[in-house]
């Protein structure tokens, strides 16, 4: 995790990581899209 509580490996927030198991496939896809957008943002 970095200072903003985002995983430096997968770029998901701690909340997204915790909800992953209970998320529907559509929700998981949304999480991945948000993580991908975070990855593209300059640090």
Tokens encoding 42: 């300059």
Do residues 28 and 20 touch, judged by C-beta distance below 8 A?
Answer: yes
Of residues 43 and 18, more confidence is placed in 18
Region label for 5, one of left (φ > 0), alpha (ψ between -120 and 50) or beta (otherwise): left
For residue 30, what pLDDT is reported? Answer: 98
For residue 15, what pLDDT is reported? Answer: 96
Which neighbouring-strand residues pair with 13? 6
For residue 3, what pLDDT is reported? Answer: 76
For residue 43, what pLDDT is reported? Answer: 64
pLDDT tens track for 5-37: 999 999 999 999 999 999 999 999 999 999 999
Tell the residue number behind the tokens 């640090």, with chain if given.
43
For residue 42, what pLDDT is reported? Answer: 77
């Amino acid at each position: 995790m970095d200072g903003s509580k985002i995983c430096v490996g997968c770029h998901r927030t701690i909340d997204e990581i915790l909800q992953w198991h209970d998320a529907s496939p559509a929700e998981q896809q949304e999480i991945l899209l948000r993580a991908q957008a975070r990855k593209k943002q300059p640090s």
